[in-house]
Amino acid sequence: MTIKKDHSTKPFLTDVKTLRARARQNLDDGAVTSTYRGDPKKTVEILQSVLATELVCVLRYSMHSVAASGISSEGVKAEFAEHAKEEQEHAMAVAERINQLGGKPNFNPEGLLTRSASQYAEGENLIDMIKENLIAERIAVDHYRELIRYFGDDDPGTKVMLQGILVVEEEHADDMHDLLVAHEGRPMLK
């Protein structure tokens, strides 16, 4: 296959002198420079909801890691605890990004659930907990895929961060699915 090169659509590159001069202007805006094509306010607003989603996931997994009990729950507890730690890392990455874009990360517990896409469900037993986490991960995966498409080339920084989180959420969903299969004794293949 030959790849046709269309020079007319080649992205325009700014010369170094202009880049340097431009960077000196509006220093208060930090990482938000004139080439930022997104709407920083809107991005911060979206990321506040992402932050809330991650924080709710930290809380739910932490609660489950403590509450999971019964035979063969040790492995599940460890998995829940590991996920809680990773959700915390996601929350911090998102909070840092909000800060870079000139916003103030909202860690306020008041209204946290309303801002979050995922829910805080305790679950009655081990299987319930695994199911609730699987549901939450599937919500997160869908949410991140949509956001990645939304940001596209307008905000590559935010997009790359979300892509990194998405990969981990997909692993989380897969882990929960594996646990469900193992504990429900369902066949692996449909």
Name which of 43 and 116 has its Cβ closer to Fe ion.
116
Distance CA 145, CA 173 (A): 14
Stretch that binds Fe ion, among 16-24, 44-52, 81-89, 121-129 (CB under 5 A): 81-89
Give the Cα separation of 168 and 46 in Å (integer).
Answer: 20
In the complex with Fe ion, the residue whose CB is nearer, 101 or 136, is 136
One residue of 79, 87, 132, 155 binding Fe ion per CB under 5 A:
87
183 scored as a contact of Fe ion (CB under 5 A)? no
131 touches Fe ion by CB under 5 A: no
* 159 part of the interface to Fe ion, by CB under 5 A: no
Q: What does DSSP assign to residue 2? A: P
60 lies in the binding site for Fe ion (CB under 5 A): no
Q: Does 79 sit near Fe ion (CB under 5 A)?
A: no
Residue 90 lies near Fe ion (rule: CB under 5 A)? yes
Q: Contact region for Fe ion (CB under 5 A) — 16-24, 85-93, 118-126, 144-152?
A: 85-93
- The stretch near Fe ion (CB under 5 A) out of 9-17, 52-60, 65-73, 99-107 is 52-60
Size of the site for Fe ion (CB under 5 A): 6
Options 79, 132, 169, 175; binder of Fe ion; rule CB under 5 A: 169
